[in-house]
Chain A
Amino acid sequence: MKVGDGKKKAGISRRGFLKAGALGAGAVLAPRVARGAGRPASGPAEGEIDREVASCCQFCQVRCTTLAQVRGDRVVNVYGNKGNAWTDGKMCPKGQALVELTYSPHRLLYPLLRDGSAWRRVTYGEALDAVAGQILKVKAAFPEDHAHRVVLFAPLWESHESEIAAQMALYMSGFPDICSPGDTCIGSSATALRICLGSPVSTTTVDEVLNAETLVLWGANIAEMYPPYVRWIDRAREKGVRVVYLDPRVTATSNNCDEQIMGRPGTDGALALGLARVMIKEDLYDRAYVARHVDGFTELAAAAEGYTPEKVAGITWIPAERVTALARQLAASRRTVVWLGGSISRYTNSLQSVRAIVALQALTANLSGPGKGIMNVQGGKPGGVEPFEETFRPPGLEGALSFRKVLFAMEQKRVKVLLLNSSYRRYPDARRVRKAIGNVDFVVYRGFFMDDEAALAHLIIPGTMPFESAGSQYGAQRQLVWRNQVVPARGETVEDWRFYSDLGRKINGEKFPAVKDPEDILEMVRRKCPTWAGFTKERLQKAPAGICWPCPGEDHPGTRGTLYPGNRFMTTSGKVELRSQALGPIEWSDPEGAPQAEPEKSKDFPLIFLQGKVVQHWQHTYTNWSAYMSQFSNGNYVQVHPDTVKGKGLKDGDWANLETEVGKIRVRVVVSETILPGLVWTPSHPANTSPYDGNKGESINTIVPSSWDKVSAQFNGFGCRLTKA
């Protein structure tokens, strides 16, 4: 007690001193040395922080920039970087999991070569020789016909430079097949935006929601997907912006809107055409704008003609009067931003739906200018890198095969080497994909843990965690940020850019540029691509909020807000092109396998399947290896309305079988009125191989039937059933 007495008195003066010191030091960014001997002896946290280093989260495209706190050569904690105006220095739980994941006892730290049924540790050099040897063997065995025999499963999420390095390595070696992550993500909406407007990215940045009159969250559950952006919605509402939220579930985002409209999943395109029809019939659209800037209005009007509010009500389950009211409301709003959720891109009718929404924004002149635009989740990848690609892509190189053709080629045993840089479980009917990969002679896995992918590999070359590598990454605001290496890489893990550069050089010799760090690659891109000219590493390092593409010069501040000033779109005609050969006629049809579309099938599978992410998890990979995240996970479960389980003998907490035409999994039933009747929602993250109970579960895509539009796969909207287990 006496000690306490003394401590208290000393503590006050010490605290006062420290407070002043911390304020002074707070103005200086990383790396800085703070926190010395003055730390209160009784504080709950252990030990001291030696320095803070600017980094960024590698998961979603909010791309939170962070300050990693380091003790010795170990990251002990991470905080948001307060210099980042997009996030206000906030972050979500996922990014925090990276601290634990970096030091996970389950992490793979050394290259492993399959040796019969066991693994043999090899050096990185030996592993590299093995991969290069296999690829050269393929080239020698199939001198005329090797192009589609070596395949890479992207993404290369580690950095933009890694993406470039992998492209260089594969293309220069004569292999065009890099299976894009867009195929299982927002490929369809990005493609529709590119075809209609000229660029696949969001047409504006999130700060513009403050200048809008109406913000439509079209299936965009921002609270679950992009938590730090909820503040932008809050701020917008404080300014009087009306927020309309379209989602068949009541979510945390429902607390941040003025009005929620709950409709049938996969009917977005029908709704958009119905809204367009009301605007056209009631002459509420901007005739002058349409005449000057829109190509294909006649076709749009013809296609929308049949979508009367009554018909739309039948399709979407949204009452006809609400459809009409929404159309009038959107027409009356002088500035509207539409924020597309990721799910809209995961139906077989996605291309049509997104085009119809573009059309809607075109009718009301809401595509360009302050407080106007269309934003896409995960849609920030800057374009304009073609001039650099031309420097290394051999002119005669064949086009890449679609994933479905690659899958078929694997089933026919034509693929010899697979560079598995990511999960195969992201594809629908994942069991079939797994079986096909089993036919490949040599599978290289660039993973982190002994998961389902590792089980298929012949060679594992483990990757670095974000704190262990440097490079640039892009975010949803088309911004590029720089990530510093915070601590040395553990074990013999290597970055993607290093592995693919090393591989490229092994196969192509001096022809492949010497790359010693990611900055070399950034420089190569920047010098060739006019819209990247201003992205120097030095500038990016000084910009905690990143710099927005396009950035055509070193003194250019980057481009915030609208991508198409003055309504000059990047299409060939310079107009909004609703008419498109690639997309075909403007129309709408039910998602493939929807119970409403196939009455015959619907007898067996009457419920609509929906899956979605939860805020604690990044897809179905890394975060499943976090014990902290497992605290909030509940394995495989389904969320259903009380009416959905009525008469089925199922109640809250029961076990049930969730079945589709390709498989079934065991799920826990959660009964809640937060979802429309007739739907079944399930989280998409669980993985069998997770060491932590909460995260453990069957990979959801094993029961998703394989259905595709021209670009990407369907993950929602098809029929399923729920039976007592």
Chain B
Amino acid sequence: MRTMAGRLIFFEGKKCIRCHSCEVGCQLENDAPPGVRLRWVTSHVRGHVPALREVSVSTACFHCSDPSCVAACPAGALRRRSDGVVEHLRSRCIGCGYCVQSCPFHVPKRSPAQHTMRKCSFCVQRIDRGKEPACVAKCPTGALSYHPDGKTPDAQAYGSAEGLHMVYALQGPPEEYRLPVPVPRNTVAAGQPWKWLGGLLPGALVLAWLWKRLSPTEEGDG
């Protein structure tokens, strides 16, 4: 039974001007030093004159409906909230990097300077106060928008059907943006097993426990 669709960040490619304001806004809000990017904008040129365009995508954690990082984390530093946010608890993170290996989108990154992994946590400190995430607040053109009701403005958007909480309306095929196709849905199998094997057991325990606790509100989220 779907009790909560989950929050959503929608990226509209044709509005992005690759100014990187979302990245900086995210870093300032989330105590990420220069070089540690929890969100990143990439651009490439597509087509030829006169239809030639520079197109961009602003990427962060996809907040999977069945996140492999949560399963892989041996420290209980990652959890999926009932609103779909995959939250990273920095105080618990031991920086082991198992999540880095497990993520099919290559989102979590180790921050040696901070001795932990870093990834987008949907600005829970802001959204829990009724505000939009920092990246959305800082986007000058409205390319990023926040939908707390979980209603996607574009059902065709990348990740929309798969229940990701960060969905993308792009100007070209997702492969061109180096996004995995098909969209990973349940992703535990990704990564290199021997590297995250050590985390599997505690991870599985966490998952099992979470599953048990949260399944009434989580089911059918995707």
A residues in contact (CB < 8 Å) with B: 1, 4-5, 8, 11-12, 15, 18-19, 21-23, 26, 35, 39-40, 42-46, 76-80, 87, 89-93, 96-97, 99, 223-224, 227-228, 230-231, 234, 250-255, 260, 262, 615-616, 627-632, 672-674
Contacts and interface: CB of A to CB of B under 8 A. Distances in A.
Interface string B33-75: 1110100000001001110111110000000000000000000
Contact of A40 (B17, B33, B124): B124
B48 A673 contact: yes
A35 B129 CA distance: 9
Contacts of B35: 627, 631
B146 to A, nearest CB: 13
Nearest to B81: A8
B128 A18 contact: yes
Interface centre among A1, A5, A46 (most CB of B within 10 A): A1
A1 B208 CA distance: 12
B138 A615 contact: no
B52 A91 contact: no
Contacts of B88: 44
Given A1-B206, A91-B21, A45 B140 contact: no
Nearest to A694: B34
B160 interface: no
B139 interface: yes
Nearest to A631: B34
Given A90-B140, A92-B21, A628-B27, 12 more contacts: A21-B129, A22-B131, A43-B128, A77-B29, A96-B138, A227-B140, A228-B141, A255-B16, A260-B50, A627-B34, A627-B35, A631-B34
A43 B124 contact: yes
A227 B138 contact: no
18 contacts: A8-B81, A12-B82, A22-B129, A22-B130, A44-B30, A44-B31, A44-B90, A90-B138, A99-B28, A228-B141, A230-B17, A251-B54, A252-B16, A262-B49, A616-B19, A627-B35, A628-B27, A629-B24
Contacts of B18: 252
Q: Most chain-B Cβ atoms within 10 A of its Cβ — which of A15, A39, A42?
A: A42
A1 B14 contact: no
A227 B141 contact: yes
Interface of B: 14-21, 23-25, 27-31, 33-35, 37, 45, 48-50, 52-56, 76, 79, 81-82, 87-91, 121, 123-125, 128-131, 137-142, 206, 209, 213
Contacts of B15: 230, 234, 255
B131 to A, nearest CB: 7
A15 B87 CA distance: 15
A254 B54 contact: yes
Contact of B209 (A1, A12, A40, A93): A1
B140 A231 contact: yes
Contacts of B129: 18-19, 21-22, 35
Contacts of B16: 252, 255
A5 B14 CA distance: 42
A4 B140 contact: no
A18 B124 CA distance: 12
Nearest to A43: B125
Contacts of A260: 50
Contacts of A616: 19-20
Contact of A231 (B23, B37, B48, B142): B142
Given A40-B124, A77-B28, A92-B140, A227 B21 contact: yes
B20 A631 contact: yes
Contacts of A227: 17, 19, 21, 140-141
Given A4-B79, A251-B54, A260-B50, A91 B20 contact: no
A628 B79 CA distance: 29
Contact of A26 (B20, B33, B130, B142): B130
B52 A674 contact: yes
Nearest to A641: B49
Contacts of A1: 76, 206, 209
A99 to B, nearest CB: 6
Contacts of A87: 140
A694 to B, nearest CB: 10
B187 to A, nearest CB: 22
Contacts of A4: 76, 79
B125 to A, nearest CB: 3
A250 to B, nearest CB: 5
A97 B89 contact: no
Contact of B141 (A80, A231, A254): A231
Contact of A674 (B14, B54, B76, B209): B54
Contacts of B131: 22
B54 A44 contact: no
A89 B137 CA distance: 8
Nearest to B89: A42
A630 B31 CA distance: 17
Contacts of B49: 250, 262, 673
Given A234-B142, A673-B45, A674-B54, A252 B17 contact: yes
A316 B162 CA distance: 50
A507 B27 CA distance: 47
Contact of A96 (B17, B24, B123, B209): B24
A80 B137 contact: yes
A506 to B, nearest CB: 40
A344 to B, nearest CB: 21
Contacts of B142: 90, 231, 234
A646 B37 CA distance: 37
A8 B79 CA distance: 11
Contacts of A40: 124-125, 128
A93 B20 contact: yes
A46 B124 CA distance: 12
B52 A250 contact: yes
A46 B31 contact: yes
A663 B56 CA distance: 35
A628 B88 CA distance: 23
Nearest to A96: B24
A91 B140 contact: yes
Given A4-B76, A4-B79, A251-B54, A45 B30 contact: yes
Contacts of B91: 42
B17 A615 contact: yes
Contacts of A99: 28
A11 B87 CA distance: 13
Contacts of B209: 1
Those 3 A-B pairs whose CB atoms lie nearest each other, nearest first:
A43-B125, A252-B17, A223-B17
Of listed A43, A78, A231, A615, residue having the most chain B CB within 10 A: A43
